[in-house]
Homo-oligomer: A and B are copies of this chain.
């Protein structure tokens, strides 16, 4: 019922600023594809530009997908992992860089189609600012809208999903939360531009993620979902369900109620954990919660919403959790 996907790099080595070579060893790509395919329920893969996919290796990647019976969930073009993007990609003050950001997106749109996909997830992580008086808000907004529009018009058979995140690597991102990113998407005027929710980004943004999803679904703009968990202050990219429970229950309820039909894609940084085991835990959690919700009766959650009465919510959730 849910289509699970994995960002391929989750299965590899991950680093931070103190240990730039990472906490683990990097397995070969072929091993990572196999590991992804071996997780029960996973049928899709997300690929990151530069790291996993370039215009040079499309055929190779296609073979890997086929060999492992995996579909392409999306490509995330690289707008963040090279020096040239350091001061912004779509919002670089250098017009040449802005053109490169657009060109990179178009190339990855082509690659996505070549690989059988129809979704490109844009996470322009460097598009933001660090300091006061560094962000030229008005200009940046226009550059994003124009750049994304140009890409969206390039080929209408590919949907572009804008992934918001309040901060990191910049202290402030231009696509910060659901509502502002929805405004950008609407501003392009392109039906093939929508929004991605990453659950941890939403937590960091102080959103109730279920409410963010409901907002985007009302506007028919929730194109994609990334799942992970954190302690709310930062994008810890932990195993789903490690910290939060009721928020995921509420989220899954609303995704179902408002008929989200996209991927449930895992996006983690298992710095010190076995990658496959960590991703598997996340899939098991989401799948397990959803199955338990259905066994419990989705209408019971709906009944809570009718009344909005807190002690009923509490009693129902206790029963759901099996607390006598």
| A contact set with B: CB distance below 8 Å | 14-24, 80-83, 86-87, 93, 125, 129-138, 141, 166-169, 171-172, 177-180, 182-183, 205-206, 208, 210-211, 214-215, 218, 230-234, 236, 238-239, 241-243, 245-247, 249-250, 253-254, 258, 269-274, 277-278, 280-281, 284-285, 288-289, 291-292, 301, 304-311, 313-318, 321-324
The answer to whether A168 touches B133, judged by C-beta atoms less than 8 angstroms apart, is no
Asked whether B211 lies within 8 Å of A274 as measured between CB atoms, the reply is no
- Nearest 10 Cβ contacts at the A-B interface: A288-B323, A179-B179, A179-B180, A137-B214, A281-B314, A133-B304, A277-B311, A131-B310, A23-B86, A20-B20
Task: Please name all residues of chain B whose beta carbon is closer than 8 Å to the beta carbon of A135 when the two chains form the complex.
Answer: 208, 211, 308
A311 touches B180 (CB 8 A): no
Number of copies: 4
Q: Is A242 in contact with B310, judged by CB distance below 8 angstroms?
A: yes
User: Nearest chain-B residue to A254 (Cβ)?
Assistant: B137
Chain B residue contacts of A307, Cβ below 8 A: 93
Residue of B nearest to A314 (CB): B281
- Residues A129 and B308 in contact in the complex (CB < 8 Å), given A166-B206, A289-B323: yes
In the bound complex, do residue B132 and residue A211 qualify as a contact, i.e. CB atoms below 8 Å apart?
Answer: no
A285 to chain B, nearest CB (A): 6
A322–B322 alpha-carbon span in the complex (Å) = 7
Contacting pair B301 A86 (CB below 8 A):
no
CA of A16 to CA of B169, assembled, Å: 7
Give the nearest-CB partner of A231 in chain B.
B171
- Residues in B whose Cβ lies below 8 Å from that of A234: 167-168, 171, 233-234
Interfacial chain B residues near A309, Cβ < 8 Å: 134, 273
Does A305 lie within 8 Å of B136, measured CB to CB? yes
Which residue of B81, B138, B311 is within 8 Å of A19 (Cβ)?
A: B81
User: Which residues of B are found within 8 Å of A233, using beta-carbon distances?
Assistant: 167, 206, 233-234
Contacts of A80 in B (CB 8 A): 18-19
18 intermolecular pairs with C-beta atoms under 8 Å apart: A15-B17, A16-B169, A19-B86, A132-B249, A133-B317, A134-B313, A135-B211, A138-B258, A141-B215, A171-B234, A234-B234, A242-B313, A245-B245, A278-B314, A281-B314, A288-B323, A289-B323, A322-B322
- Indicate whether A133 sits within 8 Å of B269 (C-beta atoms), given known contacts A19-B82, A206-B205, A233-B167: no
* CB within 8 Å for A313 and B133 given contacts A167-B234, A241-B318, A288-B324: yes
- Contacting residue for A132 out of B16, B246, B284, B322, CB 8 A: B246
> Within the complex, which residue of B132, B182, B214, B304 is in contact with A138, where a contact is CB–CB below 8 Å?
B214
Q: Which residue of B lies closest to A92 (CB)?
A: B308
Instruction: Indicate if the CB atoms of A218 and B141 lie closer than 8 Å.
Output: yes
